[in-house]
């Protein structure tokens, strides 16, 4: 039974990722089965299994669960037909009756220290603020403010992660921009936000 478990885990891992025209920081990780195009991921972030990430800029210390979709293309709903047989570019179907240009793809932006739950779907062009939390299965169609916790379909704000003063101080400190050695000095206080802020400001 244990051998069977590790065998299937091994098979899951060896699929690899499809990554094109993208920059993934050497300290970050994309799990297998994920499809990443024209995107960037900064320091110490990770993406789970079987995600689709298109035209997206992802900050540092972000955590993206499995089966998340970010920045997917939209179909031209304002046209007579939305079928790809009428617009330019390669697609699943081979026929091309015309090659109309679609609207320019909008980039999606995910701030630093963001957590995105499993099977969340994020529309292209969305901006997600620092420290935001997106619940599993959420469908995100609007920008998300810093440190908002959101969930649902469509999403709604559940609450702020911290009170206003703590949020203001964390954004001011911009700890995610510190070098790794400096972060290690204060990492023992990462579970105590108020103490972390006071101690750093006193140095």
Q: Which residues does the annotation mark as catalytic? A: 75
Residue that is written with structure tokens 């006071």 in the block: 198
Residue length of the chain? 203
CA distances from 193 to 19, 39, 96, 113, 200 (A): 36, 31, 56, 14, 11
CA distance 129 to 149: 11
CA distance 43 to 88: 35
Token pair listed for 63: 């955590």
Sign of CA dihedral 106, 49, 62, 143: positive
């Amino acid at each position: 039974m244990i051998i069977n478990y590790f065998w299937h885990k091994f098979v899951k891992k060896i699929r690899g990722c499809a990554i094109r025209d993208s920059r993934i920081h050497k300290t970050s990780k994309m799990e297998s089965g994920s499809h990443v195009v024209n995107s960037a991921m900064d320091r110490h972030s990770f993406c789970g299994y079987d995600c689709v990430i298109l035209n997206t800029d992802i900050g540092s210390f972000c955590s993206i669960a499995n089966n998340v979709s970010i920045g997917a293309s939209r179909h031209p709903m304002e046209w007579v037909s939305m079928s790809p047989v009428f617009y330019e570019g390669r697609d699943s179907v081979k026929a091309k009756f015309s090659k109309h240009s679609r609207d320019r793809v909008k980039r999606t932006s995910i701030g630093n220290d963001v957590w995105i739950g499993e099977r969340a779907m994020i529309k292209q062009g969305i901006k997600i603020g620092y420290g935001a939390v997106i619940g599993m299965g959420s469908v995100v169609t609007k920008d998300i403010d810093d440190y908002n916790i959101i969930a649902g379909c469509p999403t709604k704000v559940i609450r702020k992660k911290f009170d206003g003063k703590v949020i203001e101080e964390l954004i001011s400190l911009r700890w995610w921009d510190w070098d790794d050695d400096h972060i290690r000095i204060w990492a023992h206080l990462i579970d105590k936000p108020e103490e972390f802020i006071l101690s750093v400001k006193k140095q």
